[in-house]
Structure 1
Amino acid sequence: MSAPTGDPFTVSVNGLDLAGDRWGAPDPDRTPILMLHGGGQTRHSWNRAAAGIAGLGHQVYTMDLRGHGDSSWSDDADYGVDAFTADLVGTLEALQIAPVVVGASLGGITGLNAVGRNPGVAAGLVLVDIVVDVEPQGIERIKAFMAAHVDGFDTLDDVADAISAYNPDRKRTRNLDGLTKNVRRREDGRWYWHWDPRFLDGGNEAPRINDPEVLSEAAAGVDVPTLLVRGGNSDVVSEAGVESMLRLIPHAEAAGVNGAGHMVAGDDNQVFAAAIVDFLRRHGL
């Protein structure tokens, strides 16, 4: 079975070309969805979830963040939260939509900051395995995984092995061609992650990407329906982190995906999509 695909498009925001896919047709009775991936990923991490939600009547947009996938790299290596946030706000203005923003990890930080500081920019917010008070060891494990492979891989099998070592609970992929959504072969014949390695330095605002003070201020401004989705086996978001987040956004709801790790959608896409759709229906979105 071939993997689902959306219709590609590009928006020009803040001097960058940001790549996206559009799934499904607009429906005046259904709120559109915009999905943002985590750091080091691309929009293709959402493909199956986007196809499933679009199949239920919502138009879905998936976007590559700056420095990731097919989007432009920042000339000055600005990969701070303010830059990602400005890109998101500019993208929503260009698309002329006020969607439910679904963000995983870095995408969730971006969505939280944009929605909390820009009233009216979105109709809802879904934070996928990201809270203000994250678990430091989980964040460090992600950084170590990303930094360990900036010099590339000899083969796609090596890419699959690295992913499997980081996430041993997920079945090792058999579709090596599918990995080419996240890596690119360069002139030296090696395969490299499809993101700017300078992202690891955070650019001009490195301390602020997951700064609790900055994100707590943003959380206080969130006034739209909000769902927190936590992977049951996540080492990034704990139950205590969820409880703290619910105090910051008292009207928020929480849902868990048992058996899933930090990459919730990829670990159990069916349960993840079901939680999103249930949230949309209950809030008339």
Structure 2
Amino acid sequence: MTVTVPQSFAVEVGDLTLRGDRWRANGSGPAAAPALLLHGGGQTRHSWDRTASALVSRGRDVYTIDLRGHGDSDWARDHDYGLEAFVSDLRGVLPTLSGAPVIVGASLGGITGLCTAGEDQSAAAALVLVDIVVNVEQTGIDRIKAFMTDHVDGFASLEEVADAVAAYNPARTRPATLDGLRKNVRRRDDGRWYWHWDPQFIRSGDGDEPRRHTDPERLAEAARNVTVPTLIVRGGKSDVVSDAGVQHMRALIPHAETADVSGAGHMVAGDDNEVFAAAIEGFLDRSGL
């Protein structure tokens, strides 16, 4: 099987341009359902690069996309970063794909995917929720908010960026080279490095990220209406998703499977990508996808 390099694409949704990458897998046999990977708040599509490569190597087309206000996608002119805005964007992207995808969403991306799949049963072939549930833990949310808001004024160097990531996630091995960080930060004219997302994403609205991007009643109702195969992946060291939160989701989506990635925190794919990708493919094989 030959795996092609990703090709960039753009989708116009309303007055925004959303940008992403597509990996095409070439191989014999019937085409597998494509995968659409949605990153978490404050991340970019590049947080999925290793996962995308792993899925493509197994014969699956993969799309990654920068959500509004993140990465190379446009920032919202009206600073609208509420749940409905993200869901509306996803609804605009889906018709441009090669078929109903397996939606794999982490944190904010998972919330968006859950709402979309629950409110339109034809939107997805399957749903994978990565360390996100309707009832998240406040302690973990507070840590996310502190990590995001403590650095809106940028960093003097890439070493400072790496220090911040290490402070948030001390269990993750520090990379030997800092070049990969350039995909998630940008150097501006003042010489400082800034996260590659709109600061209004965290500053606008009331409440905490990701709580302010959610509507728990709407999400719970969407979860009750999810009919496609569903996998809930939990980081074993996550402080965002608890046992109680997973059990609540199992009550809302009785057919859902669960998988624990014991060595991972909230950023599951980045912490243990090999185990994470294997868990997804095993689930999709069992689901006939």
C-alpha distance in 2, partners of 1:19/1:97?
Answer: 18
AA at the equivalent of 2:108 = L
Q: Distance in 2 between matches of 1:174 and 1:209?
A: 35
Does residue 215 of the first structure (1) align with residue 219 of the second (2)?
yes
* 1:272 corresponds to: 276
* SS at 1:216 equivalent: helix
- Does residue 137 (structure 1) correspond to residue 139 (structure 2)? The answer is yes
Deviation at 1:203, TM superposition (A): 4.8
Say yes or no: does 1:37 pair with 2:74: no
Structure 2: state its 5+ residue gaps: none
Deviation at 1:218, TM superposition (A): 1.1
CA contact (8 A) 2:34 2:98 kept: no
1:221 corresponds to which letter in structure 2? N
| Equivalent of residue 101 in structure 1, options 100, 103, 109 | 103
Residues 125, 202 of structure 1: alpha-carbon distance in 2 compared, 3 angstrom cutoff: farther
Matched, 1:78 2:80: yes
Q: Secondary structure at the match of 1:41?
A: coil
Aligned alpha-carbon RMSD (Å): 1.7
DSSP 3-state at the match of 1:281:
helix
Query: What TM-score, normalized by structure 2, do the two folds share?
Result: 0.94
Give identity over the alignment, percent.
Answer: 63
Tell me the equivalent position of 2:54: 52
Of 267, 272, 286 in structure 2, the residue corresponding to residue 263 of structure 1 is: 267
> In the alignment, what sits opposite 2:90?
88
CA contact (8 A) 2:106 2:129 kept: yes
Aligned runs of 1:179-258 on 2, under 5 Å? 179-203=181-205, 208-258=212-262
For residue 221 of structure 1, report the CA deviation from its aligned partner.
1.4
Residues in 2 aligned to 1:209 and 1:151: alpha-carbon distance in whole angstroms:
22
Q: For residues 139-154 of structure 1, what are the structure 2 equivalents within 5 Å?
A: 139-154=141-156
Deviation for aligned residue 1:279 = 0.6
Task: Give the Cα–Cα distance (whole angstroms) in 2 for the partners of residues 202 and 187 of structure 1.
Answer: 25
Cα deviation digits, residues 238-278 of structure 1 (max 9, x gap): 11110110000011010000110000000000000000000
- What amino acid maps onto 1:266 in structure 2? G
| Count of residues in correspondence between the two structures | 282
CA contact (8 A) 2:83 2:215 kept: no
TM superposition score normalised by structure 1 = 0.95
**Structure 1 unaligned residues grouped into runs of 5+:** none
Contact 2:82 2:214 in 1 (8 A): no
What letter corresponds to residue 256 of structure 2 in structure 1? A
CA distance in 2, matches of 1:52, 1:29: 16
CA contact (8 A) 2:70 2:197 kept: yes
Question: Shift of residue 10 of structure 1?
Answer: 0.9
Tell me if the contact between 1:126 and 1:228 (Cα under 8 Å) persists in the aligned partners: yes
**What residue in structure 2 maps to residue 19 of structure 1?**
19
Pairwise CA distance, 1:178:
0.8
Q: Is the 8 A contact 1:111 1:125 kept in 2?
A: yes
Whether the aligned pair in 2 keeps the contact of 1:154 and 1:191 (CA below 8 Å) is: yes
Whether contact under 8 Å (1:26, 1:32) holds in the other structure is no
Q: CA 1:143–1:167 in 2, change beyond 3 Å: closer, same or farther?
A: same
The offset of 1:200, in angstroms, is 0.4
SS of the aligned residue for 2:95 comes to helix
Q: Structure 2 CA distance, aligned partners of 1:170 and 1:12? A: 36
Name the residue aligned to 1:61. 63
